[in-house]
Amino acid sequence: MSINRSSYVFSKDRRFERERRVHYKCEECGTKTDLLGHHIISCYMARRNPVLIPRLIKKAENLMMLCEDCHEKADADQKEWTRDEIGIMAWALFGLDPKRVADAQWTTADEDKRKRQADRKRRKRKKKKARKK
Ligand SMILES: [Zn+2]
């Protein structure tokens, strides 16, 4: 299955909608400046889990608005999550079965890296071809 990377980026509409819903404030500390869209479950983890891949990464529920400081903290915290914790998060956000998520056949970090390199190469070749025409 090939995954379109652009889908990992939140659309402007979705961002605006979320910002409006949280009254243009950081959802952690309430700061009003430099808000960034944050993936609650990271793309990196979701990409490696076959249960998570197709469904949740694009969903607005996985989006939080955070200021730069809180975003940094959230990213650091996210790295510590275990598979069980990600399962629970997927259940809380999307109603997925936490055990199914945690016990899914995860792609290893190495496999993920190789796959992304191959995808990049493929895209480059495509671009070259397009230019020749
Ligand atoms: Zn903040």
pLDDT of residue 7: 39
Distance 51 CA to ligand 1 centre (A): 31
The pLDDT value recorded for residue 1 is: 31
For 68, the domain range is 5-132
Total domains in the fold of the chain: 1
Q: How confident is the model at residue 14, as a pLDDT?
A: 80
Q: pTM to 2 decimals?
A: 0.75
**DSSP string covering the chain, please?**
----GGGGSPPHHHHHHHHHHTTTS-TTT---SS-EEEESS-HHHHHT-TTTTTTTTTSGGGEEEE-HHHHHHHHHHHTT--HHHHHHHHHHHH---HHHHHTS-PPPHHHHHHHHHHHHHHHHHHHHHHHH-
Question: How far apart are the CA of 29 and the centre of ligand 1, in A?
Answer: 4
Q: Tens-digit pLDDT profile for the chain (133 aa)?
A: 333 333 345 677 888 888 999 999 999 999 999 888 888 998 888 889 999 876 665 667 888 999 999 999 998 998 899 999 999 999 988 888 999 999 999 999 899 899 889 989 999 988 888 887 6
Q: Determine the distance separating the centroid of ligand 1 and the alpha carbon of 77, expressed in angstroms.
A: 14
